[in-house]
Amino acid sequence: MKVFPISVKESSLIQHNKEINMEYIMRALKISLILVVIALQGMGELMAQDGVIKVTLLGTGTPQLNPARMSYSTLIEAGDEVLMFDAGRAAMLQAKKSGANLKKLNKLFLTHLHSDHVIGIPDVWLTGFLAPAFRATPFQLWGPAGVKNLAAGLRQAYDFDVGIRIKQYGGKRAEGMEFDATQIHDGYVYESNGVKVTAFEVHHTGPNSAYGYKIEYNGRSVVLSGDTTYDENVIKYAKGVDLLVHQVGYAPEEALAKNQVVARIMSHHTQPKQVAKIFTVTQPKLAVFSHIVVFTEKGPDLSSDGEEKMMEVVRQTYDGPVVLGQDLMAFEVGDTVTQLQ
């Protein structure tokens, strides 16, 4: 082994390099510590967000064609769960607009089987099988009596498309084109990843035909009334809830007196004074209207004027926080309830 003697000049250069290396090391350590702090802050934010329920009103309208209000649908995001409640007109498109992770959207809960609450099912079901969602398991569906017939009928109606799609993807994920339908009753209907969903019967068109839902996660709670008249069951499940999303039907007294059809329709919905009473008794942190039904004696009133008159009636007897829902309006339910948009 040949050893070369080190000159004074070379020795000084080595020492200088050592000092430079130590400086670089110290700088690198400082940067690393900063990155660790930032990462921990980010993790804290994610952990905080993980305990929050996000509620998005995908559709706040009725069967009437109203470009400002799609028919009823609500999206709930809690932890790892993405749950849809009713699939009205354009529900899947609205879910896309909301920015939700559609790869996780595989669970749909129906309040009842009226057309404006189920008309969007084919889009949610079939589109979820295609790229980029690529659902590989059956589409899960919960609803009142008749839900299994609905699922079977849709499967038959779209049999041609189902067969073509499965062939296009080489037979892969064929189960993703099937339904897994469950008829609901009062009580827990779903529980996973800390999220609990409870169904409760409400009065809309007949016994066992309409339900509301309570969603619970991390000590927070949201109640969706579904379509209903004034119902003590809503009060039972919504007392002290963080967010209560309630439907409402309004028609002036003269419209109820002069138009029997309007009166009949209103008899299946909760009217403003009745909803105000429900809010007063349950005292939610925030109350929000969705599925907003407004009529004049001549028929549906799609104007904002009718909606404002309805809100005036509510405010006459309820002075708590209440919001007139709009499509794609979103709320974050945490320690407080915040309107995001």
Q: How far apart are CA 138 and CA 283, in angstroms?
A: 39
Q: Give the closest residue to 230 by CA, choosing from 282, 185, 186.
A: 282
The b-or-e profile of 204-213 (16+ CB within 10 A means b, else e) is: beeeebbbbb
pLDDT at residue 207, rounded to an integer: 81
Counting as low any pLDDT under 70, the low residues of the chain are: 1-50, 341
Give me the residue label for tokens 């067969």: 163
Residue linked to tokens 């000084």: 12
For tokens 């009437």, what's the residue?
64
Record the pTM.
0.84
Going from the C-alpha of 288 to that of each of 47, 211, 310, the distances in angstroms are 27, 18, 13
Tally of CB atoms within 10 A around 149:
11
Q: How far apart are CA 139 and CA 150, in angstroms?
A: 13
Phi, psi of 337 (to 5 degrees): -105, 120
- As a whole number of angstroms, the distance between CA 206 and CA 114 comes to 12
Helix (H, G, I), strand (E, B) or coil at 250: strand
Contact residues for 47 (Cβ-Cβ < 8 A; gap 6+): none
User: Which pLDDT does position 293 carry in this prediction?
Assistant: 95
Q: Pick the closest to residue 89 from 129, 117, 112 (CA basis).
A: 117
Query: Tens digit of pLDDT for each residue in 223-241?
Result: 999 999 999 999 999 999 9
Across the strands, what pairs with 141? 108, 181
| Coil, helix or strand at residue 193 | coil
Question: What are the CA-CA distances from residue 305 to residues 293, 297, 314, 319, 325 (Å)?
Answer: 13, 15, 15, 20, 15
DSSP state, residue 7 = P
Amino acid at 198: T
